[in-house]
Structure 1
Amino acid sequence: MSVKLVVRVKLLPTRLQASVLEATLHACNRAATYAARIAFEQKTYGRNELQKLVYADVKATFGLSAQPAVRVVKKTVDAYTTLRANLAAGNLGRTGSTRWRKATGEPVVFRPEAAQPFDDRCLSWQYDARTVSLWTLEGRLKGLRYTGHADQLKMLAEFRRGESDLVQVKSKWYLIATCDLPDSQVYEPADWIGVDRGIVNLATTSDGTNHQGRRLTRYRRWQAKKRAELQARQTRSATRRLARRARKESRHAAHVNHKIAKEIVSVAKRTARGIAVEGLGGIRERVRLRRDQRDTLSSWPFHQLGAHLAYKARRAGVPFLEVDPAYTSQRCPRCGHTEKANRRSRDHFCCRRCGLAGPADHVAGVNVRNRARSAWVLVNVPVPAPG
């Protein structure tokens, strides 16, 4: 097993090099849009079949050489695969809805600055010199400098595998490379840290550590207010500003989740314990909320926090488990009595049988820890030899 991470390095092209990169990227995306239209018209979404239809035209019309033309076809096929997956998952509305008809009634279109994959035949890295050489419409562009964080550059040199994507963001150029990191050896945990995830408190551990989400909640409410103001204007400028705000909000939430996950994994590794979280898959389908609560749940980054905890734990060799979330906030960890009335309010827990009281999220974290202890024993029961 391994952990796949992406490293984004910033390119430092000269003005001439930037113009060549822009022309190349735009040509690749025009070619991909053409291939997508042919695939849509011919109902041909297989890679080999589509390549037979468009390969010669892509090379002759858009000036692409052989390998970039192959990558364009692959990018087009992947786009339709992703579209079908989103349709099947219901991410584009119900069958027959306006959004669903728009997604299925016209071919995929690629933005001029959309990312273009380059494999090792089109792109080579010179790690010591911190330069790359890549194919362009004007021939091989050599000596193109790049920069990045020292840790990411070290990871790039040691673990880069497969394709790298060229992308333009606001007149700046980046290469996004995939790194395949080997898993660390997972140790036998001395105990577990149970993590209860929530909206008000983003994460509460069985140790009593509380990572509050109030600042993030206030930030999101402020962003929601600004979104409503911009949406009321209904102008193209307002639409662009909405997109920028959405990206900024997403980056902020990801940063908060990274910090929380990093701290929890660090504590677990230092104390030789594992990390256990509730398995919250499908919570949006299971929970019925008032209209004024739906936006809060939809923007709740609990899944991202769980993903960050999982991959950071794998990198550090920390055991990680997901346990049954049923009644973790209603069960008494001392006597086992489970009752809805045990949780008198969102913040307070008091067992109706034995009187154990405390913060509700802390109690839930303790229950998660206890379930992880039992689950780990079951997972690691030695299997008797046959016969």
Structure 2
Amino acid sequence: MKIVVQVKLMPGAEQAAALRSTLRTVNDLACWVSQVAFAHGVPREYELRKHTYLHLKAQGLGAQAAQHVIKKVRDAYTTLHANLRAGNLGKPKSRRRVKAESKPIAFRAEAAQPYDDRCPSWQYDQHTVSIWTMAGRIKNVSFVCAADAFKVLQQYRKGESDLIERDGVFYLIATCDVPEAEAYEPDGFIGVDLGIANIATTSTGYQAAGRGLNRYRTRQLALRAKLQKKRTKSAKRRLKERSRREQRHVKNTNHIIAKTIVTEAERTAHGIALEELRGIRTRVRLRKPQRVTLHSWAFAQLGDFIVYKAKRAGVPLVYVDPAYTSQMCSQCRHIDKRNRVDQGLFICRGCGVVAHADRNASHNIAQRGENVWDAGRESRVPATP
């Protein structure tokens, strides 16, 4: 299982200048490669290398750095074309889609630059790393990270590491190949209903209320609007200080919720059943005041956290179809749109059962998880003699 560990670099003044100059140079050259690719109809990586490799070498890039710049550009176009095919950039001839298709992809000056294993060299005992730059290899660059992250980095680091600059601070994003624990045979499934009013509700009774997080988001939105309206130097400084603060808070909250759910499943020897919610933002139609709430809903991040934590713990996990889980009674299986009285109340029109709406949905998800698991499980029936 591939996970990433973020380490913060603590370079000296000369080292920081070399890293900054390297990022500026490779991203400027990536923009040039992107223009060449766009002019030639975005050829395959091997064909693109014929048009650009010698020029990159002449600009002072090493062989590996030049290869990574070309690969970074080709991967960016692959992602763009995948988004176009999926309709993520709008319908054909829409303004957003035409804008994306009509010009080459550009790279920010501080955008990530990938390095393979031969470019950075890690000294774990000294907490330092040496790394290739345009000014040559710089050595003894100190780094810091969390204690648990350092253990993972030391034991399982393998593959690429990306150098990025964020608000004047340099980071290395290291790939780690962590072995997955062997999954056990689950004794039932815990259904997890994801939502906005309640971030996560499980069939075992755990409920992560979204009231506090939604208030926090509303407060941050109002504060950003207030500071942006002032347009003074101090307001801009405050906005820069607060950038990504909401994102970090939401990420930390999702980590806590995911760990709670996976720990409960592991303790009770249960599996986890999640809803397949991909593409929900394109399917759902909401009034304008509700769109900010929907598009700030980090359900995909929470789902990804649950998945990777479950894999590390050996907890079986399945995805189920979310259709009608909020309208179906978990007792009699009766489906009716009117069963969902309001956001928090469920009253079955068939059997009259009264339940919390999200908890009822989580039971439906748990039952579907068992069906999915049984459908894909190997037969334990003895062979006929």
Q: TM-score, normalised by structure 1?
A: 0.90
Decide whether the 8 Å contact of 2:42 with 2:77 is kept in 1: no
Cα distance in structure 2, aligned partners of 1:101 and 1:246: 30
| Letter of the 1:302 counterpart | F
Asked whether 1:319 is paired with 2:316, we answer: yes
State yes or no: 1:211 paired with 2:193: no
Structure 1 residue aligned with 2:32: 34
Aligned length: 384
Q: Could you say what secondary structure the match of 1:165 adopts?
A: strand
CA distance, structure 2, for counterparts of residue 96 and residue 351 of structure 1: 46
1:222 aligns with 2:253: no
Q: What is aligned with 1:10?
A: 8
- Structure 1, gaps ≥5 residues long: none
Say which SS state the counterpart of residue 184 (structure 1) adopts. coil
Deviation at 1:18, TM superposition (A): 1.1
Q: Which residue of 2 aligns with 1:343?
A: 340
Tell me what 2:185 maps to: 188
**Alpha carbons of 1:285 and 1:134: their partners in 2 closer, same or farther (altered >3 Å)?**
closer
Partner of 1:23: 21
| Equivalence for 2:45 | 47
Aligned mate of 2:158, from 136, 156, 161: 161
Answer whether contact 2:117 2:158 (CA < 8 A) is retained. no
User: Which of these residues, 333, 338, 358, is aligned with residue 361 of structure 1?
Assistant: 358
2:103 counterpart residue number: 106
Computed over aligned residues only, the root mean square deviation of the Cα atoms, in angstroms, reads: 2.6
Aligned residue number for residue 375 of structure 1:
372
On the 8 A contact 2:129/2:143 being kept in 1, the answer is yes
Letter in 2 for 1:366: H
Distance (Å, rounded) in 2 between the aligned partners of 1:164 and 1:115: 10
- Taking a change above 3 Å as real, the CA distance of residues 326 and 23 of structure 1, as seen in their structure-2 partners, is closer
The reply to whether residue 73 of structure 1 matches residue 62 of structure 2 is no
Shift of 1:203: 0.8
Q: Matched residue of 2:178: which SS?
A: strand
Cα distance in 2 between the residues matched to 1:304 and 1:188 = 26
Q: Does 1:288 align with 2:288?
A: no
Distance 1:73 1:219 in 2: 42
Measured after TM superposition, the shift of residue 176 of structure 1 is 0.7
**1:252 is aligned to 2:254:** no
Distance 2:54 2:232 in 1: 42
Aligned counterparts of 2:211 and 2:251: Cα–Cα separation in 1: 15
- Identify which range, 225-234 or 340-349, moves more after superposition: 225-234
| 1:184, distance to aligned residue in structure 2 (A) | 0.6
2:297 aligns to what SS in structure 1? coil
Structure 2 residue runs of 5 or longer lacking an equivalent are none
Equivalent-residue separation in structure 1 for 2:170 and 2:235 (angstroms): 25
Helix, strand or coil at the partner of 1:139: coil
Distance verdict in 2 for CA 1:287–1:53, change over 3 Å = closer
Report sequence identity in percent: 51
Q: Partner letter of residue 56 of structure 1? A: L
CA distance in 2, matches of 1:140, 1:29: 19
Structure 2 Cα separation of the partners of residues 296 and 29 of structure 1: 34
Distance 1:93 1:247, change over 3 A: farther
Aligned to 1:306: 303
Pick from 149, 152, 164 the counterpart of residue 152 of structure 1.
149
Instruction: Kindly state the Cα deviation for residue 93 of structure 1 after the two structures are TM-superposed.
Output: 3.1
Q: Give CA-to-partner distance per residue, 1:235-261, whole Å, 9 cap, x none.
A: 999899778766332222222111111
Q: Secondary structure at the match of 2:132?
A: strand
- Please give the secondary structure, in 2, of the residue aligned with 1:48: helix
